[in-house]
Amino acid sequence: MSNNVKKAEGKLGVLVVGLGAVTTTFMTGVLMARKGLAKPVGAMTQYDKVRVGKGADKKYLKYDEIVPMAKLDDIVFGAWDVYPENAFESAMHCQVLKEKDILPVKDELEKIVPMKAAFDKNFAKRLEGNNVKDCKDRWDMTEQLREDIRNFKKENGVDRIVVLWSASTEVYVPVNEKIHYTLADLEAAMKANDVENIAPSMCYAYAALAEGAPFIMGAPNTTVDIPAMWEMAEKTKLPIAGKDFKTGQTLVKSGFAPIIGTRCLGLAGWFSTNILGNRDGLVLDEPANFRTKEVSKLSTLESILVPEEQPDLYTDYYHKVRINYYPPRNDNKEGWDNIDIFGWMGYPMQIKIDFLCRDSILAAPLCLDLVLLSDLAARAGRWGTQRFLSFFLKSPMHDYTKGEVPVNHLFQQYAILKNAIREMGGYEADQEID
């Protein structure tokens, strides 16, 4: 099979915004896995097999047997954070992993010292960090980040870079047509220091794309989900992906809602609540930050169980999402779903799902997959919103200016992912999405 994907030669720099629980778990796991001391469980790029060909030609291959993927040994980590502690100190402090699972890579983690963050306290009022850049305005913020990326590339001898946002959820920034619809307007707003409409995350995304690096938004922030950034991705011919890692409750929802829909059962209401105690929970305890998350989590169900398609079954269901900060749980989140359904002749039934998950343990493999697949997409010459990565994301980006409906159905997302891998590998994208 012939494919036109450039080989994954040289080192891959992975620059992460935020060096907290998710990032340090991701980094530690990768470093441990490449020493043979842990297994990268949950990472599709490391385990999943995709069918290629049909009939007598049918075979099931891992991703790296179909397309040229960067290897774990190729990765060089860097980060920005508002707190100055290095990756080892942060990993110990976050208490997600046991000491015995961090100490074997202590030396490598200690070398990952965060660069000063581009930060504006108005976007995350609960964070009290002092490892912060001094910026004249949003344009200066962007320029300083570009310089960080260039320096990292030079100092570490990496050939390619991917930038991943794994920091806290910012205050909700509504899409403003006067500012977010064209690249020219966005740049003008950065230069005019419009601190209402230009979130720090937008400066990171702009800087990454300007420096030739794909950008992934792992929080529900508006950041790259605006036409101005789509234009920037088109101009730079780079992939962007977002938004919000699909880890616990929404993963369950995107996989379980299809059971209700496929079996033609009715839905009266779906109440989701979460308790968590890590830094994410602290930041989301602020209503303006929770609003960003709520918009992301609410969007899943409505595109899977569609009232217009089945008015008898899905008209007027009540959907509520809650997140509560509860310090004793730390990173061990509990996602509790109460689902009120109805069946034959309208008789009511209930489903309860209680997912006692570990947020960072579920997010770490997503970070790895998103980074490796974004790097692959860049080498395959794919640019703009990477819809094939929706499988990993809670609120997949889509062109809302043209009324496009995002695909949230887990198994449809999986078919899209497999088709993209097939296509990039020079095979036929042969899976229909019904």
* pTM, entire model: 0.95
Phi, psi of 17 (to 5 degrees): -85, 115
Indicate if the pLDDT at residue 151 is higher than 90: yes
DSSP letter for each residue of 326-394: -GGGTTEEEEEEEEEEE-GGG-EEEEEEEEEEEHHHHHHHHHHHHHHHHHHHHHTT--EE-GGGGGGBS
- In the chain, list all ranges with CATH 3.30.360.10: 249-358
Which secondary structure element, helix H or strand E, spans residue 77, and what is its range? strand 75-81
Which secondary structure element, helix H or strand E, spans residue 210, and what is its range? helix 200-210
**Dihedral sign, Cα of residue 395, residue 398, residue 402, residue 407:** negative
Kind of pairing between the strands at 49-52 and 59-62:
antiparallel
81/307 Cα distance (integer angstroms)? 43
Residues paired with residue 16 on neighbouring β-strands, in sequence order: 79, 164
Tell me which amino acid residue 230 is: W
pLDDT grade, residue 281 (50/70/90)?
Answer: confident
Summarised one tens digit per residue, pLDDT across range 10-20 is 999 999 999 99
Summarised one tens digit per residue, pLDDT across range 104-123 is 999 999 999 999 999 999 99
Name the more confident of 54 and 300. Answer: 54
Q: Tokens in use for 23?
A: 């990032």
Roughly what angle, to the nearest 10 degrees, separates helices 183-191 and 200-210?
A: 120
Average pLDDT, the chain: 95
Give the per-residue pLDDT at 2: 59
Summarised one tens digit per residue, pLDDT across range 326-342 is 999 888 889 999 999 99
- In the chain, list all ranges with CATH 3.40.50.720: 12-245+361-424
- Give the rounded distance of the alpha carbon of 374 from its chain centre: 11
Among residues of the chain, what percentage have pLDDT more than 90?
87
pLDDT grade, residue 67 (50/70/90)?
Answer: very high
Q: Which fold has domain 249-358?
A: Dihydrodipicolinate Reductase; domain 2 (3.30.360)
Summarised one tens digit per residue, pLDDT across range 183-207 is 999 999 999 999 999 999 999 999 9
Residues paired with residue 215 on neighbouring β-strands, in sequence order: 163, 240
Summarised one tens digit per residue, pLDDT across range 360-384 is 999 999 999 999 999 999 999 999 9
pLDDT grade, residue 37 (50/70/90)?
Answer: very high
Residues paired with residue 15 on neighbouring β-strands, in sequence order: 78, 163
Give the per-residue pLDDT at 269: 97
pLDDT grade, residue 282 (50/70/90)?
Answer: confident
Summarised one tens digit per residue, pLDDT across range 233-257 is 999 999 999 999 999 888 999 999 9
Q: Tokens in use for 200?
A: 């720090």
pLDDT grade, residue 283 (50/70/90)?
Answer: confident
Q: Which fold has domain 12-245+361-424?
A: Rossmann fold (3.40.50)
Give the per-residue pLDDT at 279: 75
Return the half-sphere exposure (C-beta side, CA atoms, 13 A cut-off) of residue 342: 14
Indicate if the pLDDT at residue 1 is higher than 60: no
